[in-house]
Chain A
Amino acid sequence: MSDPMIKLGVPSKGRLMEKTFEWFAEREITLKRTGSEREYAGAVEGADGVALVLLSAGEIPRELAAGRIHLGITGSDLVREKLADWDSQVAALAPMGFGHADLIIAVPSCWSDVDSLEDLDAAAHRFRATHGFRLRIATKYHRLVREFLIREGVADWQLVDSQGATEGTIANLTAEAVADITSSGETLRANHLKILSDGLIHQSQATLFASRAADWNGKQMRLGDLAKQLGVAAPEL
């Protein structure tokens, strides 16, 4: 017999974990870590047949896609970036109202002539003709940025990978523009960067996702009960 429990993947630390616990507590489900401070074990009270799995937020999209967890909480940006054809692999059950962050395109503030994607495209064309290579955009969100710029019909750019300190790449001459997550814009301003007026790629927030690949056999009713308790529509899986 298959494991009867619905596995719920939750970020294992920080604000994202705390806010998730609060969100469930408001719906009369208590999630808590058990054991020592360093041990990633957890328990669920107030909902039957749900097991808590504590994971790094960055790994939750992959675990959902593989079907090793049934439900998971992570940023919608991570799901869209890490999963090809994301909505064929997971279903978004509920935006949770925290963990807000915008994925945006930013350029140096000193570029007075660049305010929009139209300007970026024109500047990229001239940049390529002058420097002999495409205008470089530093990011770790390759899929989202690429899909956005291709959809918008921007040409003569290339992505360069940047896994951290992305805002510094322009001053370091390894990129001309950046595509990164921002919530307050403070880091951008401190690095003399500005957001393009139409450069918003994705508004991310923490979201409860359901895996389409997980074994839901015999768990559909339990999922329905849980959805009702959480006040969200049960997904078509």
Chain B
Amino acid sequence: MADKAQSRAMAARLLEAFRAAGALEVTPDILQPAEALLDLYGEDIRARAYVTADPLRGEMMLRPDFTVPVVQEHMANGAEPARYAYAGEVFRRQDHRGPARSNEYFQAGFELFDRTDPEAADAEVFALFEGLLAKLDLTATIGDMGLLRAAVDGLDTLPERKAALARHIWRPRRFQHLLARYSGQIPVPQARADLLAGTRSEAPWIGLRTPEEMETRIAALHADAEAPPIAAADVVALNALAELRCPADRAPDALRALGIGTLEPAIARLERRLEALAARGIDPAALRFDAGHGRSTMEYYDGFVFTFSAADPALPPVCLGGRYDALTRQLGQGREIPAVGAVIRAGLMADLEARK
């Protein structure tokens, strides 16, 4: 295992490469206000980050990643387009033992904010990391969270159902449950049937949630009960999409073969991205495409996603990155900018280099 000095040296080397690629170095604080992170990630982050308290600034977290503070800094006073680089420690609570479970490790990353040509930006970031990692025999996998989103948006069903499915794209288990419910594959529970038939509790009202909020939801449940189920063929196509894996050069044809009409703009974006990668000397046939990539682990990415992984499945990805346009919207207080970036685990990269 690389020691701290070796990891730090690797992070510094990567930072230098990012600067040579035109990035401005940023140095976010190690102590980050917890509120923005908690609001963004919810309790998931509490399980993964160290929370501490400052007598004046309130609840703080030891930096669990760089992306959020870099986006905040850019949204507050960044010029466009912008390229940022950073290197330093991140801190992750670990609830499970294992060799790859460091709770403090060096990350080096590069983030690109550019609204002119998103696919060219995707290719620029991917090619930069591919070049840095080229000698390590890693497997590159790409995906696109926008595909599943486009397929959900294209379903012929109530907007409320589409919104509920879109909200759970990152939680596959709940997503599948809702899909089964909306397509009539699981029976309506007795309690729901009773509710729709008019059964109400006689218990006294308590708590902050109001009777009006409940009535609004019951009205929505009535509308849902009256709507036709999502067609079985649409469910089959959606599941086939989520499970699609193939060499990236064959992905556009494989996606078109699913016959999901509303997918076309997202497929066209994928094609433009693959062309932009090829123009940078990256052969799409050598990349794995996985339409479900990033669904359960890479929560803020909402478009292009990629990882570079070593053969040992016990190791975390050496590099992971992607597009996070929605995150800039959430943190931008009314403003937004398309953004794409990635990070490398510097210590892991040093280990793999040493083994060569």
B-binding residues in A (CB < 8 A): 84-85, 88, 108-113, 115-116, 118, 121-123, 125-127, 130-131, 134, 143, 146-147, 149-159, 170-171, 173, 176, 192, 194, 197
Contacts and interface: CB of A to CB of B under 8 A. Distances in A.
A110 B205 contact: yes
A192 B47 contact: no
Given A108-B203, A170-B207, A171-B206, A157 B43 contact: yes
Interface stretch (B53-61, B123-131, B212-220, B232-240): B212-220
29 contacts: A84-B96, A85-B96, A85-B97, A108-B207, A111-B201, A112-B195, A112-B214, A113-B217, A113-B221, A115-B189, A115-B191, A116-B189, A118-B174, A123-B213, A126-B216, A134-B42, A146-B43, A146-B46, A150-B43, A150-B44, A152-B174, A153-B173, A155-B167, A170-B206, A170-B207, A171-B206, A171-B207, A194-B203, A197-B189
B213 A192 contact: no
Contacts of A108: 203, 205-207, 209
B268 interface: no
B206 A110 contact: yes
A111 B195 CA distance: 11
A127 B210 CA distance: 10
Contacts of B167: 125, 155
Interface in B182-215: 189, 191-192, 195, 199-201, 203-209, 211, 213-214
Q: Which of B38, B42, B44, B204 has most chain A Cβ within 10 Å?
A: B42
A77 to B, nearest CB: 17
B174 A109 contact: no
B36 to A, nearest CB: 14
A143 B95 CA distance: 10
A197 B195 CA distance: 14
Contact of A112 (B38, B189, B200, B208): B200
Contacts of A115: 189, 191-192, 195
Nearest to A136: B208
Nearest to A149: B43
Shortest 4 CB-CB contacts between residues of A and residues of B:
A153-B174, A109-B203, A153-B171, A115-B191
B4 interface: no
Given A121-B174, A146-B43, A158-B38, A192 B206 contact: yes
Contacts of B199: 112
B196 to A, nearest CB: 10
B13 interface: no
Given A112-B218, A123-B217, 7 more contacts: A85-B95, A112-B214, A127-B209, A150-B47, A158-B43, A197-B189, A197-B191
Given A155-B168, A158-B38, A197-B191, A192 B217 contact: no
Interface of B: 38, 42-44, 46-47, 94-97, 164, 167-168, 171-175, 177-178, 181, 189, 191-192, 195, 199-201, 203-209, 211, 213-214, 216-218, 221
Contact of B209 (A123, A152, A194): A123
A152 B171 CA distance: 9
B195 A113 contact: yes
A111 B164 CA distance: 20
Nearest to A88: B97
A224 to B, nearest CB: 27
B213 A130 contact: yes
Nearest to B203: A109
B173 A152 contact: yes
A133 to B, nearest CB: 8
Contacts of B207: 108, 110, 170-171, 173, 176
Contacts of B164: 122, 125
Q: Which of B44, B172, B173, B213 has most chain A Cβ within 10 Å?
A: B213
Nearest to B96: A85
B314 to A, nearest CB: 16
Contacts of B191: 115-116, 197
Contacts of A151: 173
